Structure 1
């Protein structure tokens, strides 16, 4: 058990014939008590400071751990966001490529269809021209026949006038 200032103060020495001067011993003991009390107070203050510093150290260690975990979580989140963005970009590119292919295929199909329609219209126009030419030639042939010349135009006008 540690020695206290009260123990020093209450200490009684046995008396002998040729012992030390009692007043001198008491004065010295008072100095020892005073210094011992100061040392005890200083020791308690140091222990309190150590406890306070230990608490601060623990607090900052906790903050450091929290920050480290936060940085790790933030890095993981950033990596996840980056990966998701890459995946989304790839999906967008694939979708755009599909749409481009679809549009090109539709345009090609329309072009083929229009080309076929143009060819068909050319054929029909050619047939129409040939038929029209044939018709015009037949009508021209009819007009140039001698039978028309033999008809008297004046004779035909008279029955039309009588009918009116």
Structure 2
């Protein structure tokens, strides 16, 4: 057990016939007491400083651990954000590609439908034109037939009337053909414009 300065100060020795010189012993004990008090005080101060430093060190260790945990959490959060952003970007791009593909497919389908319809209209128009031309040709041939020649010789007025009616019919038929041409052309332009708007 450590000896305190107070114990040294109060320590008393027994006396004997041939004992030490009391004054020398007291003087030495005084000097020893002073040195021990100084060392004891320094030791106590050092212990207090060590305890204080240990407390501060523990605080620094706690701060260091907190900073490490915060850094790890921040790194994990940043990685999670990066991964989620990458996934979201890929999902958006995939959705955009699918949407664009659907739009292109619809536009291509619409274009094919319009082309088919246009070809059908052109085919019907040319078929009608051929039939009408054949009809007119047959009517012209009929007008030149021997049966009508009889009317030319016997009834000039009737022949003039027939020719006038035929001329009127020719004009009407020609107008009908021109109107049909314009109708087909207008339909073709409208369909082309509609296709252009769909693509836009």
Name the counterpart of 1:107.
107
Aligned-pair distance for 1:29?
0.8
Aligned residue pairs, count = 153
Question: Whole-Å Cα distance in 2 between the matches of residues 35 and 138 of structure 1?
Answer: 151
Please name the residue that 2:78 is paired with: 78
Structure 2: where are the runs of 5+ without partners?
Answer: 161-200
Q: Could you tell me how far apart the structure 2 residues matched to 1:12 and 1:87 are?
A: 88
2:64 pairs with 1:64: yes
Q: Does 1:122 align with 2:128?
A: no
Among residues 140, 143, 156, which one is paired with 1:150 in the alignment?
156
If asked which structure has higher relative contact order (CA below 8 Å, sep 6+), I would say 2
Shift of 1:110: 0.8
**For the residues of structure 2 that align with 1:139 and 1:31, how far apart are their CA atoms?**
159
Instruction: Tell me how far 1:106 sits from its aligned partner.
Output: 0.6
Deviation track 1:81-140 (CA, whole Å, cap 9, x = no partner) reads 122122112211221221122012112101110111111120122133224434654676
Per the normalisation by structure 1, the TM-score is 0.79
CA distance in structure 2 between the aligned counterparts of 1:61 and 1:4, rounded to whole angstroms: 35
The 10-residue stretch of structure 1 (53-62 or 122-131) with the greater mean CA deviation from structure 2:
122-131
Task: Compute the displacement of 1:55 (Å).
Answer: 0.8
CA apart distance, 1:24: 1.9
Determine the C-alpha separation between the residues in 1 that align with 2:89 and 2:46: 62
TM-align CA RMSD: 2.4
Q: TM-score, normalising length from structure 2? A: 0.66
Separation in structure 1 between the aligned mates of residue 140 and residue 24 of structure 2, nearest angstrom: 168
Q: Secondary structure of 1:18's partner? A: coil
Structure 1's 141 and 150: CA in aligned 2 closer, same or farther, altered over 3 A?
farther
**Unpaired stretches in structure 1, ≥5 consecutive residues:** 154-164
Where has structure 1 moved over 3 Å in runs of 4 or more? 134-149
Inter-partner Cα distance in structure 2 for 1:142 and 1:151? 19
The separation in 2 between residues aligned to 1:138 and 1:41, in whole angstroms, is 143
Q: Matches of 1:119 and 1:107 in 2, distance apart?
A: 18
Task: State the Cα distance separating 1:62 from its structure 2 match.
Answer: 0.9
